[in-house]
């Protein structure tokens, strides 16, 4: 059987850091970034061009980019943007790939970007035009695809309808995000089967949070449905500041550990990821929710206790 390749996009430097109290310095971010690159990570959501007062952790995204810009040829360096102003600031900073976020549910879109989803979809067309004109790549992230903390379940029809509009705009990668960890494996499998059938030429990326312990099971459900792209965050930290109950992203090293055991290819080095995760814990000043950082890989053997 042909081996399955899974592409990971590392979001610790954006979504991962958003809920952390301590603002990381450029130097700290650089150290974590370098360790992740060394471990084989080739795609990064490295920051966001959002209002610095709303998400202080992202305020130095432009400066951070200027320090890693040289890697553009060998790694995808993606910045999240909430609006056209974000795209403009990204362009000024020299960023080539941006990820525009909108929410499938109106309630979360209103909290996140202060306008209904329909207005964000309109704006998307303008941003698409702006990016095209300026030679920038535009991806799109759909928050609350698998449920909204305010509205609850989201009808699949609404997801499909909004995706239908986005797909028309020739977007290389569309991320479907489970913003507050409401997705379950049956839902992920069913919805992704339907989406991949309806949009067979579109590449989709999945973004899970491990809020209710189903993160790894949801990744597998996605793989089984045919998805090959996933967002993960080193240490499993993170969460949306504008979604109540938000907790950490699905953890990079935990995902890689599981996929490696299952003979799925990620082209990353687990030991390298654990070294990076160590730097992360030091930088944020506390242990992360990573299972692997506590337990170590399951291949690890313990010596037999000495008996008398």
Active site residues: 240
Q: Output 138 or 258, the one with its CB closest to a copy of itself.
A: 258
Min. distance of Cβ 90 from a copy of itself in angstroms? 28
Q: How far is the CB of 2 from a copy of itself (least distance, A)?
A: 16
- Residue 44's contacts (CB-CB under 8 Å, 6 or more residues apart) are 9, 10, 11, 13, 33, 36, 75, 76, 77, 78
Nearest to 75 by CA among 27, 48, 40, 28: 40
Nearer to a copy of itself, 47 or 147 (CB): 147
Q: Largest alpha-carbon pair distance within the chain?
A: 76
Q: Which is nearer to a copy of itself, 131 or 176 (CB)?
A: 176
The nearest distance, CB 56 to a copy of itself, in angstroms, is: 19
DSSP string, 214-269: -HHHHHHHHHHHT--EEEEBGGG----TTSTT--PBPBHHHHHHHHHHTT-B----
**Structural tokens at position 173:** 């990668």
Residue indicated by tokens 């995000």: 177
Min separation Cβ 176 and a copy of itself, Å: 16
Q: How far is the CB of 147 from a copy of itself (least distance, A)?
A: 6
C-alpha to C-alpha distance for 34 and 28, rounded to whole angstroms: 10
Q: Smallest gap, in angstroms, from Cβ of residue 71 to a copy of itself? A: 30
Integer Cα distance of 56 and 64 in angstroms: 14
Which residues lie near a copy of itself (CB under 8 A)? Answer: 107, 110-111, 147, 149-152, 181-182, 184-187, 210-217, 220, 244-245, 247, 251, 254, 257-258, 261-263, 291-292, 294-305
d(CA 243, CA 35): 30
Measured from the CB atom, is 47 or 181 closer to a copy of itself?
Answer: 181
Residue 90 or 227: the one with the smaller Cβ distance to a copy of itself is 227
- Residue 99's contacts (CB-CB under 8 Å, 6 or more residues apart) are 45, 78, 79, 80, 81, 138, 139, 140, 141, 175
Query: What's the CA gap between 35 and 274, in Å, rounded?
Result: 9
Which are the contacts of 98, defined by CB distance < 8 A and separation ≥ 6? Answer: 49, 78, 79, 80, 81, 86, 87, 90, 131, 136, 137, 138, 139
In the bound state with a copy of itself, the residue whose beta carbon lies nearer, of 82 and 289, is 289
């Amino acid at each position: 059987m042909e081996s399955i390749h899974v592409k990971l996009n590392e979001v610790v430097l954006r979504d991962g850091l958003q809920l952390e109290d301590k603002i990381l310095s450029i130097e700290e971010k650089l150290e974590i970034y370098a360790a992740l690159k060394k471990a084989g990570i080739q795609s990064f959501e490295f920051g966001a061009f959002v209002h610095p007062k709303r998400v202080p952790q992202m305020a130095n995204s432009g400066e951070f980019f200027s320090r890693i810009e040289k890697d553009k040829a060998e790694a995808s360096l993606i910045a999240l943007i909430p609006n056209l102003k974000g795209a403009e600031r990204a362009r000024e900073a020299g960023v080539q790939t941006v990820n525009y976020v909108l929410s499938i549910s109106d309630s979360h879109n209103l909290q996140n970007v202060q306008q209904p989803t329909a207005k964000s979809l309109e704006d998307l067309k303008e941003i698409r035009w702006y990016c095209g004109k300026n030679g920038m790549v535009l991806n799109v992230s759909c928050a609350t695809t698998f449920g909204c903390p305010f509205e609850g379940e989201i009808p699949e029809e609404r997801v499909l309808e909004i995706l239908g509009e986005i797909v028309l705009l020739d977007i290389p990668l569309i991320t479907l995000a489970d913003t507050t960890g409401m997705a379950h494996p049956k839902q992920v499998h069913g919805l992704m089967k339907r989406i991949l059938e309806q949009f067979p030429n579109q590449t989709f990326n999945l973004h899970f949070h491990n809020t209710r312990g189903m993160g790894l099971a949801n990744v597998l459900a996605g793989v089984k449905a045919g998805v090959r792209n996933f967002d993960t965050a080193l240490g499993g930290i993170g969460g949306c500041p504008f979604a109540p109950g938000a907790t950490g992203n699905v953890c990079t090293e935990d995902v890689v550990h599981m996929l490696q055991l299952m003979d799925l290819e990620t082209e990353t080095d687990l030991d390298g990821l654990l070294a990076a995760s160590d730097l992360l814990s030091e930088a944020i000043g506390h242990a992360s929710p990573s299972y692997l950082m506590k337990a170590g890989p399951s291949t690890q053997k313990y010596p037999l206790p000495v008996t008398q």
